[in-house]
Structure formats: C-alpha cells, structure tokens
Structure 1
Amino acid sequence: MLDINLLGYCICTREAIRSMRDRGAKGGHVFFMNSLAGLRFPGNTNLHLYSVTKYAVTAYAEGVRRELREMKSPIRVTSISPGIVETDFAMTMLQNEAKAAETYAHFKCLQPEDIANAVEYALNSPDHVQVDNILIRPTQQTS
C-alpha cells in the first residue's frame, strides 16, 4: 500500500513535472486522487494503514504545491478527496463480494463520473485560481 499510495505518487509526480518543464509547458496540472481518509481517520480500524498513506498524500500534495510556487512554476496541484465511490475498491479491500456489495448498499454512492466532473472543474478554473483540495462525498455519507 505504501508503494502504490505514496511512492508511486512521488515517482509519477516527479516524472510528470519533469516532462511539463522539459517541454516548456506554459502551465499544467497535477492531480492527486486522495480520499476522505487522508483528511480524517475512518471509523473502520481495518483501514488504518490506508488512512496513513492518504494522510501522507495530503501532505505530499501540499509540499509539491509549495515547491512549485517557490519555483514560480505555472503548474497547479489539486488533491481530490472523495468519500465512498462505487468502484471495485471495496472488493479489493474486503476480498469478499457479498461484503463489498453491502458496502455500497446503504445509500447512493458517488460514481466515477462525479470524480471526473471534479477534475474538470479544477481544470476549467482560470489560470490565476488554485483549487487545492476538492472534498466530495455522497449526500447521505455522514463521516
């Protein structure tokens, strides 16, 4: 989990920024797919290591954003922190199809298109606007 949720982000971010700079991009945008778990500890203690990695992503995104500002770079950084999104994530984490289905049965969950819309919102913001973090969750999600 640390390799994917943190080291992978570090390597991909380094390479993306390097590519933008090498090509002389007049702007650019780096997105971090984060989680509510990176802003508060989830109620399920089975997710504590996941939460640790997402807290690290929150800190890393802010560090990259500040580093780019110090370099006077036009590249913007946005962290998207969704609540429950109906994907195969529950199945991957729980390794149990019935429990995964139960996870998504309590209320209407976010859909992947909802996250895509958040990305589009940040991309369409004027160049002088930095959308730091988008916190998005289903209406009925309480935590």
Structure 2
Amino acid sequence: MERWSGRVALVTGASAGIGAAVAYQLQDHGVHVVAVARRVDKIEKAVAAAREAAKSRGRYHATKATPGKLYAQKCDLAKEEDILAVFNWIKETLGGVDILINNAALATDSALSEGLTDEWRLTLNVNVLGLSICTREAVLNMRERGVDDGHIIHISSTGGHKVFASNLAMYCSTKHAVMALTEGLRKDFVEHKSNMKVTCVSPGFVRTEFINNLPKYNTEEVRKLPALESEDVADAVLYAIATPPHVQIHEIIIQPVGEMN
C-alpha cells in the first residue's frame, strides 16, 4: 500500500457500512479520501465509528503511514450533476483521483409483477448509471493527468451471480450489470494499452444498515443469519489495491461461513 500514500481515492456511499470501513482503512494507509454520500453530515462520524468498531473486535491494524486526509462531500449518485460537481471539486482542490471505490447502491422490496417504476428507475440510476458515470469521470481524469496505474473497484454482491428472491430481482439485475461493466472496463483498458485495473468485489450478506429499507428482511431472524462485517469487505478492497502492478484481481467473492443462499 506504500505506493498509494499521498494519493487520492473517491469512495461513494461512505456514510455507513462498507463505504465507511473502506474510507478509514484507506485513510489510515496514507491515502487522501474524498468520501461522498447524500447524508454528508454523517460521513465523518461513520468513518470514525467504523474505525472504533474494528478496534473493538480486534480487527484494527495500525500502520506506520501518516494518515491521509478525509474530505466529506455531498453527492446523490442518482443525479449526474452532483457527480460532475464532485469530480470538478476534486480536480480543482486535489488535482484528481487515483482510486475509485464504487460502493453506493440501494435495493427496494419491489416484485417484478407489481413493482413501482420510480423505485426501479432509482435503483438503476444509482447502481448502474451512477456507477458508470463515476467510472467514466475517474478514468477521463486519470488519462488527462497521465495516470496509468489507477484502480477502479466496484462493490457488487453475490446477487450479481444469482437472484436471491423474486422481490429482489431488479436489485440483482443491477449487480449482474456491474459484472458486465467490470469485464467491459477491463477490455477497455486492454484496448487502450493501459495499466489501470478494475476489480469487482461481491460480498454475501453483510451486517450493515442496508436492509433497513427492506422491511421483509429487516427482522431479528435475518439479523441472526451468518454475516460478514464491513471490514471484511474493506480488507478485500485493500488486498486488490495492494497487488503488484502486473497483477489484477478481477473478481473477489466473499461469503460468511454457513451462508446458505
């Protein structure tokens, strides 16, 4: 991770869960982190809380790096103007981005036979279009600056490999799309003879507030199921980023021991 010290990462969906865990780990390794979310007022507290939670579980690994700076910025991934504004801020303030963590995503309890169009549109806008716009802007920024060792990380889901349930089919379809976008970007880099990398990280059930918006699954019974912690996913992200320049981790699937789905 030493080569990333002093460089800039953009982490989306950083006000909770996986995004907050990735942000603190990158920051503690000397990376300057632009952490974005709709709930910008919660970002700094969430990142600090993720760090303390890791310490309480004995999962915190101190580094010798000088901590990077954390910049909290408001951004709604469903709005292209918000995304462009963040990238413009990064360019003017920090010069550019070297790592992009596409973490922000949402799901709704919306069956295909009776779901609401607005819910489907929002899910597609955030999980697919928002991710794609962020990716495009990050890559263009890197190319403008002559950066050829950047890394794009897509936080997907095991839902990109299967459909968990009928009412989550639209969410799973967006994660299937992320798989295709990952491979498409890899081929794009090859065609441009670029050394940039792209990695898709697909976790199973993670113990976060993600299920709060899914009443059917926001139950005590579900919360007792085998689950990953946010830092498990963050560890995988750092593993992929820390690989030597000639090594690309294309995909990582992580499941908690005992998960049936």
Any idea what SS the aligned residue of 2:252 has?
Answer: strand
Any idea what SS the aligned residue of 1:135 has?
Answer: strand
State the partner residue of 1:60. Answer: 181
State the partner residue of 1:5. Answer: 127
- Normalised to the residue count of structure 1, the TM-score between the two structures is 0.92
Letter matched to residue 136 of structure 1: I
| Cα drift, residue 95 of structure 1 | 7.4
Letter matched to residue 162 of structure 2: R
**Greater share of residues in helix:** 1
1:90–1:103 CA contact under 8 A, matched in 2: no
Q: Which residue of the other structure, out of 167, 181, 185, is the alignment partner of 1:46? A: 167
State the partner residue of 1:36. Answer: 158
1:80–1:118 CA contact under 8 A, matched in 2: yes
String of CA shifts for 1:16-50, please: whole Å, max 9, x gaps: 111111111130100001000001121x2111100
Identity among equivalent positions (%) equals 40
Mind listing any 5+ residue stretches in structure 1 that lack a counterpart? none
Report the structure number with the largest CA radius of gyration.
Answer: 2
4+ runs of 1 displaced by more than 4 Å? none
Which one has more relative contact order, counting CA pairs under 8 Å at least 6 apart?
1
2:156–2:200 CA contact under 8 A, matched in 1: yes
| Cα drift, residue 76 of structure 1 | 0.1
State the partner residue of 1:17. Answer: 139
Q: Which residue of the other structure, out of 103, 124, 127, is the alignment partner of 2:242? A: 124
Letter matched to residue 260 of structure 2: T
Mind listing any 5+ residue stretches in structure 2 that lack a counterpart? 1-122
Q: Structure 1 residues 90 and 73 mapped into 2: Cα distance closer, same or farther (>3 Å)?
A: same
Provide the aligned length of Structure 1 versus Structure 2.
139
- Normalised to the residue count of structure 2, the TM-score between the two structures is 0.51
